Amino acid sequence: QKEVEQNSGPLSVPEGAIASLNCTYSDRGSQSFFWYRQYSGKSPELIMFIYSNGDKEDGRFTAQLNKASQYVSLLIRDSQPSDSATYLCAGSGFQKLVFGTGTRLLVSP
Amino acid sequence: DAMVIQNPRYQVTQFGKPVTLSCSQTLNHNVMYWYQQKSSQAPKLLFHYYDKDFNNEADTPDNFQSRRPNTSFCFLDIRSPGLGDAAMYLCATLAVPYNEQFFGPGTRLTVL
């Protein structure tokens, strides 16, 4: 069973802090990993993806991938209340994504 | 400049009354997906098309069917909706080479 696991949270951080979201996966064949943000009642929005070991930065977001340890993380710097949402991690299979159940992030003013 | 469009955004149907949800895309992507998402759960893949090749997930109920008449459009038919089919239905397309999926806004289905 190919799985992607995330802590459901909620993860609570104060405004301006760094939020760290983590994800582990079981399928070593997964090549790419994706972070989606989903606001309540809305569809998932792609934040960024990563396919190489190491870090990838995009604005306030940094994705980290460690294939040896099979984990992916997303760091959100200078967290804002508007970042409060559920963050879905997904790993790619052949033409498919395997989603985790998401981590709920709450950023308090 | 919406790229993946879903209609309607909200659909109310009665128990057992067939319903069709539609999805269109302006991205010219070969692969299109239908997901079902219930509250606090991950999106669950129902089926996907690679061009006209239809791929059904093993655990997708027979009550759900799909059509893709051309590259731009894809439809989800629920033949006899039950109360358990109330959910958000998400359409997505696939971009190569990194396999990013882009989601439409979703259709919220209510079954009375």
* Residue B97 pLDDT greater than 90, yes or no: no
pLDDT digits (tens, 9 = 90+) for A44-72: 999 999 999 999 999 999 999 999 999 99
Strand-pair category, A33-38 with A54-58: unpaired
Average pLDDT over residues B27-52: 92
As a three-state string, the secondary structure of chain A is: CCCEECCCCCEEEECCCCEEEEEEECCCCCCCEEEEEECCCCCCEEEEEECCCEEEEECCEEEEEECCCCEEEEEECCCCHHHCEEEEEEEECCCCEEECCCEEEEEEC
Minimum Cα–Cα distance from A101: chain B residue: B42
Among B42, B102, B104, the residue with its CB nearest the CB of A101 is B42
- Identify all chain B residues contacting A102, using CB atoms and an 8 Å cutoff: 40, 42
Position B103, amino acid: F
- Using 50, 70 and 90 to split pLDDT, how confident is the model at A36? very high
Q: Mark yes or no for CB contact B45/A96 under 8 Å.
A: yes
Among B55, B98, B108, the residue with its CB nearest the CB of A51 is B98
Per the prediction, chain B carries an average pLDDT of 93
Location of structure tokens 């209609």: B7
